[in-house]
Amino acid sequence: MRALYIFPHPDDESFGPAPAIASQLRAGHEVHLLTYTRGGATKVRHKYGYSVEEMGKVRYHEMQNVSRTLGLSSLEVLDLPDSGLKHMDPIDLEQVTENHIRKIRPDVIVTYAVHGISGFHDHLVSHAVVKRVFCKLRNEERSGSPRRLAFFTLAHSEVDDGKFRLQVSTEEEIDCATRVDDEDIQKGRIALDCYKTYQDVIKAANVLERTGRTVYFEFFQENYNPHALSLFQDISPNRGAPADHGTTQE
């Protein structure tokens, strides 16, 4: 099976999803990553005296190391305006997204849940754009269209969120709980270590401790109770419609 993760910034793939990505790759699935920006506008750049362009180049290099660490099937990093996706014509952003989805032909697309976890507007824009494009392609009912849209999210936890106030999904909203093992967690730790310029933020965010041994996803217009154990559960290998598991809500 083939998954395409779509996020706005470098490090979004490592702030939570990385152990699940490592698990999916280890299981023999393809995992592709599209990032809209190079993340150059981060305030961290001031610590190093970098311009937005310089910081973007550094973070792009860090992402290449993440790709090698996780063994991603492909990585595409665009140079759209970091912290400025809300100012773009959404049609332009949708077209870029659609073109890449048609190129990769994923079975499952993954992006942020509607709350964006951090609530940052680039995350919210990404959710809306990816969902809009997914619905368009699904309605075409063409061979190779994505079969499922999943939203990376967090569940309620007693573990401290660190310095950030994070949004979570309710138990009823969560459809997939992917268990990861020590090897996957270690891969996630190494991926985070690739972001040399972001180590202070990573420590403050308590990333791996907050994620724990389970990575959670919502499924768009599907309802799994009990939770699915994989992004690919009940998707048949012939790239047709998802199999009827008795709990899907159309």
Taking domain 2-219, whether its CATH number is 3.40.50.10320 is answered by yes
Whole-number average pLDDT of the chain:
91
- The pLDDT value recorded for residue 250 is 30
H and E: helices and strands count for the chain: 8, 7
C-beta separation of 191 from 147 below 8 A: no
Helix (H) or strand (E) holding 203: helix 199-205
pLDDT by residue, tens only, the chain of 250 residues: 999 999 999 999 999 999 999 999 999 999 999 999 999 999 999 999 999 999 999 999 999 999 999 999 999 999 999 999 999 999 999 999 999 999 999 999 999 999 999 989 999 999 999 999 999 999 886 767 899 999 999 998 866 666 678 899 999 999 999 999 999 999 999 999 999 998 998 888 887 888 889 999 999 999 999 999 999 999 976 444 444 333 333 3
**Helix orientation angle between 182-193 and 18-26, rounded to the nearest 10 degrees:** 130
Question: What are the residue ranges spanned by the domains of the chain?
Answer: 2-219
- The pLDDT value recorded for residue 160 is 67
**Among 114, 106, 54, 47, CA closest to 82:** 54
Residue recorded with tokens 């047709």: 240
Between CA 212 and CA 184 the distance in angstroms is 11
Q: What is the pLDDT of residues 201-232, one digit of tens each?
A: 888 888 788 888 999 999 999 999 999 999 99
- The pLDDT value recorded for residue 110 is 98
Between CA 23 and CA 16 the distance in angstroms is 13
Between CA 195 and CA 114 the distance in angstroms is 26
C-beta separation of 70 from 20 below 8 A: no
- Kindly report each contact of residues 132-136 with a partner whose C-beta sits within 8 Å and lies 24 or more positions away, as own/partner: 132/90, 132/94, 133/94, 133/97, 133/98, 133/101, 134/101, 134/109, 134/220, 136/98
